[in-house]
Amino acid sequence: MKKAALRFLLICVIFLFSACFYNVNDTDLPIVRLLWPGDTQTGLGLNVFFQWIGFPTIKTEVKTREDPVIDHYVVVYAEESEWWNPANRISYTTAATGVESRVLDYNTTYRWQVFAYQEVEEADKQSSRRIVEGKSNVFSFTTMKEPGEMVTIAPGQFTMGDHFHPEWEGGEIPPWYFNDQPAHAVSLTKNFEIGKYEVTNQEFLEFLNNVGVPFYEEDPAYPTEGMGWLNGRPVIETWWDDPSTGIYYDIVDKKWKIKTAWTNTNVEPNVTVPLNYAAMPVTRVSWYGATFYCDWLSRMSGYAEAYNSSSGEARIVPRDNGGYRLPTEAEWEYCARGGGGDTLYSGTSIFPANYAWFYWNSDLSDGTGRRVHEVGQKLPNELELYDMTGNVFEMCSDWWEMYCAEYAPEGCPLLMTDPAGPEQPDPPVFSFKVMRGGSWGTEDGEDGLTYLSNVRRFSIFPENTESDVGFRIARTVLPEVSLP
């Protein structure tokens, strides 16, 4: 008896779960559920991929086609202040369950809704057909604030480099942290500004289209794959199938654009996942591309170019003239450590999951795998800087070389003032630029190998592009000149 009761209870649970999961529609009208953007979602880019799911009516009193389907949808959206006037709503008619918006405005709240239309036949009338309409709830969402916010950093002193491990005193095999030593005293004597966030796809897109960076496809069979070039240098690489690459070149419109979704083409049927690429860090950008962006932003802001790229050839070492540039490695580490503090990661010395996207938490189980994420989603450090640890590696202005190699054999001086890396001799000997911070794909904590640590050093060839490498900007705050 008990077994029968348990079996009946299990059947009821399965039935209820199935009804909820499959959303069987036995009403007179088709049903629409909005998926993306979610209600009251914030920080979205200026192009939004609307996505929903529809369920046609299968009510027995209404005869439908043998395989009932929704004939078409009408998507409407408008600024929240104009929603109540239907004449101000923008609408699209489509048979698909997703559509991309037009270009939206920064920091603006919108409302959106979807209507579903299905042809049915009255059960008690011969050849009597009509169209029934179903509609979704109304959702709202808000676009991202205009990017480019900077944080002013005051001068200070700190101990730069790995001081968490004993200094190597020689031997057959150096320890894994050898490249991050010796620890040495550094003084930063100038006020400077640094980006509160990593540079986003939305910001970099404006540079690409404003300058008119040319695109060159690498394979005619895959016209969306290629590279943007400027002044004979690679700027950015496109890779449509990469979920961490947000910018592509539209070969029809002849414009750089931002993806609004990622499609998994490795499964049948293909699955499209809406993603807010506009608010994610730009990736697959070269070191040269980052410097071209800095000079463009300086021109737009009325500052002198730090890299002099408008001359046709960018400087490898920026001028300290108040223009936008990449941070020096010393500036970067000082900021990552919250102003020279002693935390292992930016903002914390314990497991950094609340402060960083990295190998252990960058897969959200949405089908996209481990990937880059929107800036500013984790906690900031003591200076209110976001994503200094993880998300993407951040390129610095310095050439990569062992610390204090130029002072050998004496070693580091007692205090290094405003270090900016080694100077490139003629002929050149340095090939790589410094990058710091780890990324969405960086593992950490295995056998004590803290690759996400504030003191870990990495490098990249200045013409290379990677799906986990980006940058943030900085600029020296020049003293005000008193007029006589």
Residue 108, domain CATH: 2.60.40.10
- Secondary structure element (H or E) that encloses residue 4, with its range: helix 2-22
- Strand 393-399 to 469-470 pairing: parallel
Name the band, by pLDDT with cuts 50, 70 and 90, for residue 441.
very high
Residue 383 is assigned to a structural domain of this protein: yes
Residue 7 is assigned to a structural domain of this protein: no
Q: Containing domain of residue 78, as a range?
A: 22-143
Q: What is the 3-state secondary structure (H, E, C) of 47-108?
A: CCEEEEEEECCCCCCEECCCCCCCCEEEEEEEEHHHCCCHHHCEEEEECCCEEECCCCCCCC
Q: How far apart are CA 407 and CA 413, in angstroms?
A: 8
Task: Compute how many other C-beta atoms are within 10 angstroms of the C-beta atom of residue 206.
Answer: 15
Structural tokens at position 351 = 């497991």
List C-alpha distances in Å: 151 to 295, 388, 454: 19, 13, 19
Q: With the CA atoms of 185, 191, 197 and 200 taken in that order, what torsion angle do they form, in degrees rounded to the nearest 10?
A: -110
Residue 78 is assigned to a structural domain of this protein: yes
Residue 198 CB contacts under 8 Å (≥ 6 apart), including other chains: 281, 282, 375, 386, 387, 391, 392, 394, 470, 471, 472
Q: How far apart are CA 271 and CA 243, in angstroms?
A: 13
Task: Compute how many other C-beta atoms are within 10 angstroms of the C-beta atom of residue 380.
Answer: 18
Are residue 156 and residue 253 in the same domain, yes or no? Answer: yes
SS3 (DSSP) at 10: helix
Would the pLDDT of 1 be above 60? Answer: no
- Mean pLDDT value across residues 331-349: 95
**pLDDT for the residue numbered 172:** 79
Name the band, by pLDDT with cuts 50, 70 and 90, for residue 258.
very high
Residue 127 is assigned to a structural domain of this protein: yes
Residue 1 is assigned to a structural domain of this protein: no
**pLDDT for the residue numbered 146:** 86
Name the band, by pLDDT with cuts 50, 70 and 90, for residue 426.
confident
For residue 220, whether the previous peptide bond is cis, meaning omega lies within 30 degrees of 0, is no
Which of 83, 204, 67 is closest to 147 using CA atoms?
A: 204
- Quick check: 134 and 115 in contact, CB under 8 A? yes
Are residue 109 and residue 234 in the same domain, yes or no? Answer: no
Are residue 136 and residue 258 in the same domain, yes or no? Answer: no
Q: How far apart are CA 166 and CA 206, in angstroms?
A: 47
Are residue 107 and residue 172 in the same domain, yes or no? Answer: no
Q: How far apart are CA 475 and CA 328, in angstroms?
A: 10
- Give the domain-ending residue among 113, 143, 173: 143
Per-residue pLDDT tens digits for 101-117: 999 999 999 999 999 99
Task: Name residue 433's beta-bridge partners.
Answer: 399, 460
Are residue 396 and residue 417 in the same domain, yes or no? Answer: yes
Name the band, by pLDDT with cuts 50, 70 and 90, for residue 218.
confident
Are residue 460 and residue 336 in the same domain, yes or no? Answer: yes
Alpha carbon 327 to its chain's center: 19
- Give the domain-ending residue among 121, 143, 165: 143
Q: How far apart are CA 35 and CA 25, in angstroms?
A: 18
Sign of the dihedral through C-alpha 397, 400, 401, 403: positive
Q: How far apart are CA 358 and CA 443, in angstroms?
A: 7
- % of the chain exceeding 70 in pLDDT: 89
List C-alpha distances in Å: 460 to 58, 187, 363, 432: 59, 26, 25, 5
Are residue 228 and residue 273 in the same domain, yes or no? Answer: yes
**pLDDT for the residue numbered 130:** 81
SS3 (DSSP) at 220: coil
* Residues written for the chain: 484
- Give the domain-ending residue among 109, 143, 177: 143
- Mean pLDDT value across residues 406-430: 90
Residue 3 is assigned to a structural domain of this protein: no
Task: Compute how many other C-beta atoms are within 10 angstroms of the C-beta atom of residue 383.
Answer: 22
List C-alpha distances in Å: 283 to 55, 83, 198, 434, 479: 38, 36, 10, 16, 34
Task: Compute how many other C-beta atoms are within 10 angstroms of the C-beta atom of residue 376.
Answer: 19
Rounded to the nearest 5 degrees, what angle is found at the Cα of 274, between the Cα atoms of 271 and 278? 140
Q: With the CA atoms of 458, 459, 465 and 471 taken in that order, what torsion angle do they form, in degrees rounded to the nearest 10?
A: 70
- % of the chain exceeding 90 in pLDDT: 71
Residue 106 is assigned to a structural domain of this protein: yes
Q: How far apart are CA 132 and CA 450, in angstroms?
A: 60
Are residue 125 and residue 215 in the same domain, yes or no? Answer: no
Q: Of the ranges 252-256, 419-423, 446-450, which one carries the lowest mean pLDDT score?
A: 446-450
Q: What is the domain-level CATH number for residue 293? A: 3.90.1580.10
Residue 235 is assigned to a structural domain of this protein: yes
Which of 360, 359, 338 is closest to 349 using CA atoms?
A: 338
Task: Compute how many other C-beta atoms are within 10 angstroms of the C-beta atom of residue 482.
Answer: 5
Are residue 270 and residue 355 in the same domain, yes or no? Answer: yes
- Mean pLDDT value across residues 306-335: 89
Q: How many domains does the chain have?
A: 2
Q: How far apart are CA 96 and CA 65, in angstroms?
A: 19
Are residue 252 and residue 347 in the same domain, yes or no? Answer: yes
- Quick check: 239 and 467 in contact, CB under 8 A? yes
Are residue 78 and residue 202 in the same domain, yes or no? Answer: no
Sign of the dihedral through C-alpha 83, 84, 88, 92: positive
Q: How far apart are CA 162 and CA 169, in angstroms?
A: 14
Mean pLDDT across the chain: 89
- Quick check: 114 and 34 in contact, CB under 8 A? yes
Are residue 345 and residue 217 in the same domain, yes or no? Answer: yes
